[in-house]
Amino acid sequence: MLETMNEVKVLRDPIHGYIHVRLNVVWECINSAPMQRLKRIRQLGGAFQVYHTAEHSRFSHSLGVYEITRRMVEEIQDLRQGLSEEEKVTVMLAGLLHDLGHGPFSHAFESVTMTHHEQMTRRIILEPSEVHDALVRCDPSLPEKVASVIDHTHPNPVLSQMISGQLDADRMDYLLRDAYFTGTKYGEFDLERILRTLRVRQGKLVVKESGMHSVEDYIMARYHMYWQVYFHPVSRSFEAMLTSLFCRLKQMARQDHPDLKRLPFLIPFLSDGPVSVQDHFLMDEPACNYGFNCLRMSEDPIASDLAGRLLDRRLFQDEALSEKGQRERLRCLLMEQGWDPEYYLLSDEVRQRPYQPYQGMENSMAWVLMETGEIRELSQASEIVEALVQGQSRNDQRLYYPRQLQRY
């Protein structure tokens, strides 16, 4: 049953001005424990170690995605008239709930637990939880419908395109929000113009040719944000060290190390077994930081050293991997100085193209409605985007190791 509230709730937001909530079910989801937990997870993982104001949470981002989705269904005529009331509620809820499954420190934690946040999001919506119960109270089939938008199996593909396509509410919110909170200007683009020029044609979300320049700007914003913020070597160093600490903790768990008895909430994440929804709810960034504080006093010198380094920002230095034998040379040097290279010589590789359409993969493509009425894939309509698609994809491989090669 779709109940509206007596009065519209408005929440202040620096990106959208206000977030508007009219529906009871949306308000109940916002006030549920799984959503409130997202206030304890930063949106940008280790980026706060580079951009000190990048402390915004997944909660504020989730509200922002909801607000863009709400504006889409209310302000874009094709969606306002073309979607049923039930589809509108479903897609707004999918926008609000799409990040529920995130663990602490974003994607770094996924590599530790080997679970993807999408799977966990799905489980929180479908298995008993406060969010699930709120959805069922509104309509017993709502959990399944919302989950199907998130995993792209909903019969109306436009709903998934709105949340995670190419011109989607998720990306539009995080680029603007991350640019605002890091203080970088690269992520800015004209959201109002894109929303004004969005249409639905042939079951696709398309942008009118007159809005194409703002879409080009948005694609460029993605490109700059990736290299300046998301792939910054310092936040990658933080994330690599976090992964290294968890590898050490897994090793300690295998040996039943007594120090871990004081940190029972970490235990489920230290074996390769499945993690329950309840374990997931208890795991957030304050819990991790408390754990790191306790580990400072650990008898295990590696765990104690890495935990202290993460808390005090004594991060490893980074070096581009450019020549053969470089890794081996560093490995020998570290061993000579008494460092265990398994935990003290780390590496990663990132690769990114701001836009890469794949034939047959609808979600990877953005579409432009030309003045002639023809629909073209974005790189066929824009010379700037065409150049980006045809250029080399940029990749960056780095090694990380302690700044002073003295023994801990």
The DSSP element (H or E) to which 113 belongs, if any, is helix 107-113
DSSP code string of 323-379: STTHHHHHHHHHHHTT--HHHHSEEEEEEE-S----TT-GGG--EEE-TTS-EEEHH
Strand partners, 4: 23
In the complex with Zn ion, the residue whose CB is nearer, 170 or 239, is 170
CB 353 → Zn ion: shortest distance, Å?
Answer: 20
Measured in whole angstroms, the distance separating CA 99 from the mean position of its chain's CA atoms is: 7
In the complex with Zn ion, the residue whose CB is nearer, 87 or 170, is 170
Helical ranges in 226-349 per DSSP H: 233-254, 277-282, 285-295, 301-312, 326-336, 341-344
Classify 48 in phi/psi space as left (phi over 0), alpha (psi -120 to 50) or beta: alpha
372 to 401: interface string for Zn ion, x by CB under 5 A: ------------------------------
Q: Is 168 an interacting residue with respect to Zn ion (CB under 5 A)?
A: no
In the complex with Zn ion, the residue whose CB is nearer, 87 or 99, is 99
Measured in whole angstroms, the distance separating CA 52 from the mean position of its chain's CA atoms is: 19
In the complex with Zn ion, the residue whose CB is nearer, 66 or 400, is 66
In the complex with Zn ion, the residue whose CB is nearer, 170 or 178, is 170
CB 170 → Zn ion: shortest distance, Å?
Answer: 4
Q: Alpha-carbon distance 29 to 139, whole Å? A: 14
Q: Is 170 an interacting residue with respect to Zn ion (CB under 5 A)?
A: yes
CB 74 → Zn ion: shortest distance, Å?
Answer: 21
| Number of chain positions touching Zn ion (CB under 5 A) | 2
Asked whether 229 and 182 are in contact (CB, 8 A), the reply is yes
80 to 109: interface string for Zn ion, x by CB under 5 A: -------------------x----------
In the complex with Zn ion, the residue whose CB is nearer, 41 or 260, is 41
DSSP code string of 143-208: HHHHHHHHTT-SSSHHHHHHHHSSS-HHHHHHHHHHHHHHT-STT---HHHHHHHEEEETTEEEEE
CB 65 → Zn ion: shortest distance, Å?
Answer: 6
Q: Is 178 an interacting residue with respect to Zn ion (CB under 5 A)?
A: no
CB 38 → Zn ion: shortest distance, Å?
Answer: 10
In the complex with Zn ion, the residue whose CB is nearer, 163 or 346, is 163
CB 381 → Zn ion: shortest distance, Å?
Answer: 27
CB 98 → Zn ion: shortest distance, Å?
Answer: 6
The residues of the shown chain that bind Zn ion, judged by CB under 5 A, are: 99, 170
